[in-house]
Amino acid sequence: MAAQRGALIVLEGVDRAGKSTQCRKLVSALCATGHRAELLRFPERSTEIGKLLSSYLEKKNELEDHSVHLLFSANRWEQVPWIKEKLNQGVTLVVDRYAFSGVAFTSAKENFSLDWCKQPDVGLPKPDLILFLQLQLVDAAARGEFGHERYENGIFQERALQCFQQLMRDTTLNWKVVDASKSIEDVHKEIRVLSEDAILTATHRPLGELWK
Ligand SMILES: Nc1ncnc2c1ncn2[C@@H]1O[C@H](COP(=O)(O)OP(=O)(O)O)[C@@H](O)[C@H]1O
Ligand SMILES: [Mg+2]
């Protein structure tokens, strides 16, 4: 019998909502309870495209806004063969940011429609579950200073949050909003229950295509 496929679980949310913390904890907890689970993040800075994006985020180079949007998308597409292989082997993937961040950050810029921003990511593996870590920007600010990377400022984060809210209205996607203002352990417990559920459901369903 073929191995049952793993689930594709994505964590999204504004800067300092706790995505990276929760991704790490979720992968450890799943592995500790006998699941096969691995972590990935976007942008994936280790590839050639990823290195270009990393310098862009560190403000070491300038790239035209449309072209950088396409590069962020390409950075996801270049991982797709690996993603599909892992899921088919029964490995659950926990993803720190995905196409939703890509769309939210570009559409927060002037003169970019949400629709245009979504197009390059149409057809990517569709997440079985998208956990949105909801946190007010004032509470995020209380967790520490902004970093020095591009996009790490209040006005931009506010606009990106509005785009996320529009993307969450899409009922063809399995969005779950999690209150990220709770303690790390409490958020973890909630995320874990939702993830266990998504893993069970995913085994019976073929992997979908995003925004198709
Ligand atoms: N639930 C929480 N309550 C308080 N602090 C948190 C919580 N989750 C994360 N943090 C802290 O907030 C900061 C940002 O967390 P991180 O996981 O890096 O967020 P993100 O990846 O969403 O930017 C870290 O210092 C982390 O320890
Ligand atoms: Mg992070």
Choose which residue among 10, 14, 21 to substitute to test ligand 1 binding: the one with the highest number of ligand atoms within 8 A of its C-beta.
21
- Please give the Cα distance from 174 to 9 (Å, whole number): 10
Q: How far apart are CA 201 and CA 186, in angstroms?
A: 23
Q: Identify whether 185 is part of a domain.
A: yes
Write down the pLDDT at residue 2. Answer: 62
- Domain membership flag for residue 211: no
Q: Is residue 2 part of a domain?
A: no
Tell me which residue range forms the domain holding 43: 8-205
Tell me the pTM: 0.98
Residue 89 lies in a domain: yes
Torsion of CA 181, 187, 88, 35, to 10 degrees: 160
What letter would DSSP give residue 120? Answer: G
By most ligand atoms within 8 Å of CB, the mutation choice from 20, 143, 146, 153 for ligand 1 is 143
Per-residue exposure over 134-165, b if at least 16 CB sit within 10 Å of its own CB, e if not: bbeeeebeeeeeeeeeebeeeebbebbbebbe
Atom of ligand 1 nearest to the CA of 133: 22
Instruction: Locate 86 and state its tokens.
Output: 């892992």
Q: Residue 212: inside a domain, yes or no?
A: no
In the block, tokens 């063969």 appear at 81
* pLDDT, position 83: 98
- The answer to whether residue 54 sits within a structural domain is yes
Local confidence pLDDT in tens for the 212 residues of the chain: 567 999 999 999 999 999 999 999 999 999 999 999 999 999 999 999 999 999 999 999 999 999 999 999 999 999 999 999 999 999 999 999 999 999 999 999 999 999 999 999 999 999 999 999 999 999 999 998 888 999 998 899 999 999 999 999 999 999 999 999 999 999 999 999 999 999 999 998 999 999 99
> Which pLDDT score is estimated for 1?
53
Residue nearest to atom 16 of ligand 1 (CA): 18
| Number of domains, the chain | 1
- The single-letter DSSP state of residue 147 is -
Residues near ion ligand 2 (CB < 5 Å) are: 19-20
User: Helix, strand, or coil here: 169?
Assistant: coil
Which CATH number does the domain housing residue 44 bear? 3.40.50.300
For ligand 1, is residue 131 a contact (CB within 6 Å)?
Answer: no
Residue 1 lies in a domain: no
| Under 8 Å between Cβ of 174 and 128 | yes
If you measure from the C-alpha of residue 152 to the centroid of ligand 1, how many angstroms do you get, rounded to a whole number? 15
Query: Which distant-in-sequence residues (6+ apart) come within 8 Å of 3 by Cβ?
Result: 88, 89, 90
Q: Does residue 144 fall inside a structural domain?
A: yes
Angle between helix axes 65-77 and 48-57 (nearest 10 degrees) is 140
CB of 25 within 6 A of ligand 1: the answer is no
pLDDT reported for residue 175: 98
**Residue 82 DSSP SS3:** helix
Strands 8-13 and 37-41: unpaired
Which pLDDT belongs to residue 204? 87
What pLDDT is attached to residue 51? 98
Helix (H, G, I), strand (E, B) or coil at 138: helix
